[in-house]
Structure 1
Amino acid sequence: MRQREQAGRPEAAEQAARQAPASQRSGVLHRLAQDRAGEQVMPLFRRAYEEALVWAPGLLAARLEA
């Protein structure tokens, strides 16, 4: 997933993360969100929030505050 992200394919990286086993999906998406910058991260935050991933609101707030 990181290889796709680094190759400039964030949608492919996120799609691969969503196909990960449920026990790993949240952690992988969290790492992707931490690595993304600027507006690239907003769609990922939106989907994470819709999925009720507990880390999404706090990480989003920290990003907005910075």
Structure 2
Amino acid sequence: MRKYDDLGRAVENSIIPQVVLDAIALAITDDRATGKVYNIAEAQFPTEAQRIRRIGQVAG
């Protein structure tokens, strides 16, 4: 599902599979997680342009 910021720019939220697996494992094995909901998504939703710039910075 695509989301948009206040200026109409597309923003995306990526979820890292290992984070999902870790969260599931903790929810299954830790009784404190019973009945609770956790958000494991990124705290910020960068725009596509921000992601592309970041990839360029990392790739050199």
Normalization by structure 2: what TM-score?
0.30
Which protein shows a greater Rg? 2
Counting helix residues as a fraction of each chain, which structure ranks higher?
A: 1
TM-score normalised by the chain length of structure 1: 0.28
Between structures 1 and 2, the one with greater strand share:
2
